[in-house]
C-alpha cells in the first residue's frame, strides 16, 4: 500500500471519474476507485477546510485528501476491513 496526500481542493472527479462511495461520515467521505490496474481508497476530508484558518493551518489544508493505492482488490478489501470501514448500502 502506498499513500499520497493532497490539498482539500484536489480534483478527484477529474482523476477518478468512475469512483464510487464507500461511506460518508461527519467531515468527509471514503471512495473506491480503480485505474490502470491499480485499486484505490480515497479518504476525502475536504469539508474540514471550512473550519481551518488559511496561513495557520496550511500544512493540514494540504493533507485533507489521502489516496491509498493497492496492488490488488484483495489487499484493498483487507485494509478496509482492518480499518473497520463499512460499505454504504443503497
Tell me the per-residue pLDDT of 28-43, one tens digit each, with 9 for 90 and over: 889 999 999 999 999 9
Q: Where are the domains of the chain?
A: 2-83
CA distances from 41 to 54, 56, 63 (A): 27, 28, 15
CB atoms within 10 A of CB 33: 20
| Alpha carbons 76 and 90: distance in angstroms, whole number | 21
| pLDDT tens-digit map of 42-82 | 998 866 655 555 665 556 556 789 999 999 999 999 999 99
Looking at residue 2, its pLDDT comes to 96
CB atoms within 10 A of CB 74: 10
β-pairing, 2-6 vs 20-25, is: unpaired
Amino acid at each position: 500500500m502506498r499513500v499520497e496526500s493532497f490539498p482539500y481542493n484536489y480534483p478527484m472527479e477529474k482523476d477518478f471519474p468512475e469512483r464510487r462511495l464507500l461511506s460518508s461520515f461527519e467531515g468527509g467521505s471514503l471512495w473506491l476507485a480503480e485505474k490502470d490496474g491499480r485499486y484505490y481508497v480515497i479518504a476525502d476530508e475536504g469539508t474540514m477546510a471550512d473550519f481551518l484558518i488559511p496561513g495557520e493551518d496550511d500544512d493540514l489544508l494540504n493533507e485533507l485528501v489521502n489516496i491509498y493505492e493497492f496492488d490488488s482488490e484483495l489487499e484493498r478489501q483487507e485494509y478496509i476491513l482492518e480499518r473497520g470501514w463499512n460499505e454504504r448500502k443503497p
